[in-house]
Amino acid sequence: MFSDYGQAEIDASNLPMGPRFTVQPESTIFDTQSTITLVSFTCEAEARPLPSYLWFLTHDQRRFEVDLSDQSKTVTNGRLTIDGPSETEDNGDYQCLTRNNLGAILSDFATLSFGCMTFVFTALFYISYI
C-alpha cells in the first residue's frame, strides 16, 4: 500500500515486537474447605510472533520451573491451572516468563496461600422488661 506521496505505508500493527504484558498474575488464597478444586494464575502478553509461556515457583527459598509433566498442572495460553493444589508443594510465589525470538519478560510475583474461611454466627437476644 502506498501513501499519497508514493511512499510505502507501514502497518505498525504487523511489525514484529517483543512481548509486553497485558495481564499479570495476581496473588490468591486457596480455600482448603471449598468444593472448588482448581486455582489458576493468568499471564497474557502481546507479541509478534506470538510468545511462549513458562511458569516458575519460588518455594522454600528455591526457584523451580513448574513441572507440567505433573498432570495436575496445565498451561493454556499463559494461564497456569493447578487441580487440587497441595499446601506443602504448591504454596509460594509464582512468576510467568513470556518470550519470543525478539525478547523475554518476567512477570511480577503472585503468591499462592492456603487457608479456610469460617463463619461464626452469633445471635443476640434482647430482653426487655416493661
* Residue 101 belongs to domain with CATH number: 2.60.40.10
Whether residue 105 lies inside any domain: the answer is: yes
**Higher-pLDDT residue of 116, 80:** 80
Q: Does residue 2 belong to any structural domain of this protein?
A: no
How many domains, the chain?
1
How high is the pLDDT of residue 116?
86
Q: How far is CA 87 from the centre of its chain?
A: 18
DSSP letter (8 states) at residue 15: S
| 6 part of a folded domain | no
Question: What percent of the chain lies above the pLDDT cut of 90?
Answer: 74
Please, are residues 19 and 51 in contact by the beta-carbon 8 Å criterion? Answer: yes
- Exposed, middle or buried by CB within 10 Å (0-12, 13-18, 19+), for 111? middle
- Does residue 4 belong to any structural domain of this protein? no
Whether pTM exceeds 0.85: no
Least confident among 56-60, 81-85, 120-124: 120-124
Domain extent, residue 69, equals: 15-115
